[in-house]
Amino acid sequence: MGYSAEGDPELRRTWVSGPIVVGAGPSGVAVAACLADAGVSATVLEKSDSVASLWQHRTYDCLKLHLPKKFCELPLMGFPNEFPKYPSKEQFVAYMEAYAAFFAIHPRFGTEVLNAEFDSAVGGWRVRTRGEELVSRWLVVATGENVEPVMPETSTAVFDGRVIHTRDYKSGADFEGQKVLVVGCGNSGMEISLDLCRHNATPYMVVRNTVHVLPREMFGLSTFGVAMFLQRWLPLRVVDRFLLAVARQTLGDTDRLGLPRPKTGPIELKNVTGKTPVLDVGALAEIKSGNIKGGGCLFTKEGMAKAPFPDGWKGENGLYCVGFTKRGLLGTSSDALSIARDISLQWKEIRRSHNLYRNSPL
């Protein structure tokens, strides 16, 4: 039943008997399924054209779940048995579509919610879309944590190449043979850098802050699963110390690769700030072998060497620093020797090729 909303005669206002759910991602679909299971029919409003639109339209081709499927299934209906431990994005999307179909969830696609307000006079939520107002006693917001892209400002005066957000990145095949600056070293930045390497592009990564990199698995078990298991008996900080000890054994010292770790442990940081640790699926090996390169700044904002002692002395393009070790004159000695060794090797190489050239019969 439709009737005009006050103040806007064009707006059709409709009472819906069940709850309104905004968003048909995994969260919106899951809550609608649980409601359906309890005999409550929800109206699901989705601005995009499909369920799990983030996964369908805003993710790169090689994306897989980075936690095992048993930690990623929605209530009441698990993943098919034949799915691998880490389903691909296509499999995840197929699962989401089957899930929505099974619980007969038919979101209204192409319906963006512009505003929602509680109206005490009406005793319900007035939910505005383009051209319509829906009113319900219940409103469930399921619009996702990752929906709005954040782009740093870029100046075309400095760089006039292509600038894209990860949501529009599909495959390294589009960048073959090119140098690509990847800004950010979360799971997206790391996996995209790896994908670029695998397609013969040259990624450079900007790391402005600290980051926890953990192996995706330890002792044949998912790191996430191990962390969950240990948390049942041990305090979080002890679990974090254990994860970091294993990470150090298997991945080495990530600080030395220009990826300094936060002071707070990985799971504590996730719980407190929401910042997800990077679960390594191969990018670290490419950083170690120099196929993914660093953004190139020697110093932190505070003017200290970025890489901890004894590795902070060498930058890019012939840039070095000596005496920024927090180790006094001992640190200076170590830097001085390292720099002199490095430059003298290059010096000798240049002299050698120069002499070869001079003596060549051509």
Ligand X SMILES: O=C(O)C(=O)Cc1c[nH]c2ccccc12
Ligand Y SMILES: Cc1cc2nc3c(=O)[nH]c(=O)nc-3n(C[C@H](O)[C@H](O)[C@H](O)COP(=O)(O)OP(=O)(O)OC[C@H]3O[C@@H](n4cnc5c(N)ncnc54)[C@H](O)[C@@H]3O)c2cc1C
Ligand Z SMILES: NC(=O)C1=CN([C@@H]2O[C@H](COP(=O)(O)OP(=O)(O)OC[C@H]3O[C@@H](n4cnc5c(N)ncnc54)[C@H](OP(=O)(O)O)[C@@H]3O)[C@@H](O)[C@H]2O)C=CC1
Sites of contact with ligand Y (CB under 6 A): 22-28, 45-48, 53-54, 59, 63, 65-67, 72, 112-113, 142-144, 146-147
Pick from 137, 270, 275, 327: which binds ligand X (CB under 6 A)? 270
Contact 188, 146 (CB under 8 A): no
* Strand order, beta sheet including 124-129: 2-5, 8-15, 132-136, 124-129, 115-119
Which of 70, 97, 96 minimizes the C-alpha distance to 84?
70
For ligand Z, the binding residues (CB under 6 A) are 63-66, 146, 152, 166, 183-189, 191, 206, 208-209, 211, 276
What is the C-alpha to C-alpha distance for residues 185 and 239, in angstroms, rounded to an integer?
A: 24
Closest distance of CB 279 from ligand Z, Å: 7
Which 48-67 residues touch ligand X, going by CB under 6 A? Answer: 66-67
Contact in structure between 305 and 313 (CB atoms under 8 Å)? yes
Residue number of the CB closest to ligand Y reads 25
Name the residue nearer to ligand Y (CB basis): 143 or 250.
143
CB 238 to ligand X: min, Å? 16
Partner whose binding site includes residue 277, from ligand X, ligand Y, ligand Z, none (CB under 5 to 8 Å by kind): ligand X
What the block records as the tokens of 12 is 């059709």
Nearer to ligand Z, 74 or 134 (CB): 74
> Could you say whether residue 276 binds ligand X (CB under 6 A)?
yes
With contact defined as beta carbons under 8 Å apart, do 75 and 69 qualify? no
Q: Does 228 bind ligand X (CB under 6 A)?
A: no
Q: Select from ligand X, ligand Z, ligand Y, none the partner in contact with residue 189, using the beta carbon and a kind-dependent cut-off of 5 to 8 Å.
A: ligand Z
54 contact choice in ligand Y, ligand X, ligand Z, none (CB below 5 to 8 Å, kind-dependent): ligand Y
Choose from ligand Z, ligand X, ligand Y, none: what does 184 bind? Cβ within 5-8 Å by kind.
Answer: ligand Z
Q: Is 4 in the site for ligand X (CB under 6 A)?
A: no
Q: Measure the CA–CA gap between 256 and 124, rounded to whole angstroms.
A: 57
In the complex with ligand Z, which residue's Cβ is closer, 216 or 256?
A: 216
Q: What gap in Å lies between CA 171 and CA 60, rounded to an integer?
A: 6
Strand positions, DSSP E, the chain: 2-5, 8-15, 20-22, 43-45, 115-119, 124-129, 132-136, 139-141, 179-183, 202-206, 213-215, 217-218, 221-222, 278-280, 293-294
Interface ranges with ligand X (CB under 6 A): 66-67, 224, 270, 276-277, 279
